[in-house]
């Protein structure tokens, strides 16, 4: 049975999600921020015959994220998504999305497959030579934004104002190394919630690469976040970057899918 979730389902919902805190970074964060019933956010639960919650479906704006650790009613979840004539994307773990996609009546426009990794231990972190890694204040974020703009392969549409707002809200933080009077390497979190955080924005100016700066920034960030009892996760599609992350303790969970669909005015 699938039905809409409400605040009364909160305990049961978190009991399903939090053992997989890294995998459910977005769902947990959105529940904490916005609850179960907003014009832009809704949640459904798939319950077994004995009333046990076995899957959760989040709708945020025009995007859907499903999660299930085991067996679930993929056909029914696909039908719920198909009734939405304006949705544009489904994202989530590949073993979940691959079961739902055949039951979505909208045509697939494109898909992207990323590695999804998590870190839940400080045992492999490179914790030496971290004294020069600094924690960015709100006043430092202008310099961090300039660093990001100076790296060709760094893609972000985030403005300085958005960086500051996210840090003030506690959903983001940044660590950086300064040399020659400017930040030359940095690592940040995004989508932080009470259980997990995502590592983003790992970068180094070209002239300062091969010095271990990105590893040091990421290690200091991870140590502080893990010390708060949270789990870390990240996306990557560059094998070289994956090697660096694995060296400091990240392990692949599985693939994360981002599947875009054509909108439909009428669903038959």
In tens digits, the chain (268 residues) has pLDDT values of: 999 999 999 999 999 999 999 999 999 999 999 999 899 999 999 999 999 999 999 999 999 999 999 999 999 999 999 999 999 999 999 999 999 999 999 999 999 999 999 999 999 887 888 999 999 999 999 999 999 999 877 766 789 999 999 999 999 999 999 999 999 999 999 999 999 999 999 999 999 999 999 999 999 999 999 999 999 999 998 888 888 899 999 999 999 999 999 986 544 4
Is the pTM above the cut of 0.85?
Answer: yes
Q: Give me 232's structure tokens.
A: 């870390």
For the chain, domains (ranges, CATH) are 2-114+255-261 (3.40.630.30), 122-248 (3.40.630.30)
pLDDT of residue 263: 80
Give the number of other CB atoms < 10 A from CB of residue 1: 10
pLDDT of residue 158: 84
pLDDT of residue 156: 63
User: What angle, rounded to 10 degrees, do the helices at 239-247 and 213-227 form?
Assistant: 50
Residue 252 to residue 244: CA distance in whole angstroms: 13
């Amino acid at each position: 049975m699938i039905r809409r979730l409400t605040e009364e389902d909160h305990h049961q919902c978190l009991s399903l999600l939090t053992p997989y805190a890294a995998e459910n970074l977005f769902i947990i964060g959105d529940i904490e921020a916005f609850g179960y019933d907003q014009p832009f956010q809704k949640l459904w639960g798939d319950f077994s015959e004995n009333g046990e919650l076995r899957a959760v479906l989040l709708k945020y704006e025009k995007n859907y994220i499903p999660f299930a650790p085991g067996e679930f009613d993929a056909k029914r979840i696909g039908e719920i998504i198909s009734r939405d004539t304006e949705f544009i994307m489904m994202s989530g773990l590949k073993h979940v999305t691959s079961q739902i996609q055949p039951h979505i009546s909208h045509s697939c426009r494109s898909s992207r497959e990323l590695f999804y990794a998590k870190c839940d231990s400080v045992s492999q972190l490179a914790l030496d030579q971290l004294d020069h890694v600094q924690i960015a204040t709100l006043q430092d974020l202008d310099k961090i934004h300039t660093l990001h703009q100076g790296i060709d392969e760094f893609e972000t549409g985030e403005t300085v104002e958005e960086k500051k707002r996210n840090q003030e809200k506690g959903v983001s933080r940044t660590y950086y190394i300064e040399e020659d009077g400017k930040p030359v390497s940095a690592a940040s979190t995004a989508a932080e919630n009470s259980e997990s955080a995502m590592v983003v924005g790992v970068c180094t100016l070209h002239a300062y690469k091969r010095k271990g700066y990105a590893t040091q920034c990421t290690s200091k960030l991870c140590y502080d976040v893990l010390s708060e009892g949270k789990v870390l996760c990240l996306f990557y599609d560059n094998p070289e970057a994956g090697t660096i992350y694995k060296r400091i303790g990240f392990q692949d969970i599985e693939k994360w899918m981002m599947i875009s669909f054509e909108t439909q005015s009428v669903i038959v």
